[in-house]
Amino acid sequence: MEEVHKQKGNNKRKKSVIGFWICIIIAIVTITSSIVMISETKKVKNNDKEETTEKEEEEIKRPEANTNEGIIKDRTENGISFTETTLTIVENGSSFSTLVTNTTEEEIKVRVFEINFKNEKGEVITTLYGYIGGSLLANESRRISSNVDIELKEAVDIEYKIVV
């Protein structure tokens, strides 16, 4: 009878050892599969990011300066100088900026400038308004900026007019 108990004890140990090794093998297979799946997922995500970045770069328009001499040249009209003029073509429009300076020794009353952008034929493409908001003291400078939803690539000249 002791032999039967020994055989049953040995069988239980064998089953325990076999069960232990089966658990180890399952754990190894599970861990290996998980690592492979994670690395493949990362590869797919990185490829998607690279493709998206390339597409976004194509779609994003880089700002472009309009450097026509008639646009950027410094000018003085009626005691007011316009310097540091920039016209930048941006996505879906244009951005304009200039430094307005009263070059006289007297105050000049001006609230608004009309800024006409012209094409090669001298035709007005669009008109923007630059707001000073009152008057310019002698030798005072103010920067005016304005934006428009038109790309002013074709603009070759600017005409300034004091409105008020």
Q: What is the C-alpha to C-alpha distance for residues 87 and 96, in angstroms, rounded to an integer?
A: 5
Q: What is the mean pLDDT of residues 98-103?
A: 94
Give the residue-averaged pLDDT of 29-44: 75
Model pTM? 0.62
Q: Is the backbone of residue 55 left (phi > 0), alpha (psi -120 to 50) or beta?
A: alpha
Domain ranges (residues) in the chain: 1-60, 64-162
92 in the Ramachandran plot: left (φ > 0), alpha (ψ -120 to 50) or beta? left
3-state secondary structure 105-124: CCCEEEEEEEEEEECCCCCE
**Integer CA distances (angstroms), 150 to 49, 68, 85, in order:** 32, 17, 18
- Choose which CATH entry (2.60.40, 2.60.120, 3.90.700, 2.40.30) describes domain 64-162: 2.60.40
What is 130-149 written as a DSSP string? EEEEEEE-TT-EEEEEEEES
Q: Is the pLDDT of residue 55 over 90?
A: no
Higher pLDDT pick, 22 / 153: 153
- Edge-to-edge strand list for the sheet holding 124-136: 124-136, 108-118, 157-162
Rounded CA-CA distance 81/86 in Å is 14
Separation of first and last alpha carbons in the chain: 120
H helix or E strand, kind and range, residue 152: none
**Close Cβ partners of 44 (under 8 Å, ≥ 6 residues apart):** none
Q: What is the mean pLDDT of residues 50-78?
A: 78
Q: 8-18, pLDDT tens digit by residue?
A: 666 667 777 77
Residue 158 has pLDDT above 60, yes or no: yes
Q: Which two tokens stand for residue 77?
A: 């009209």
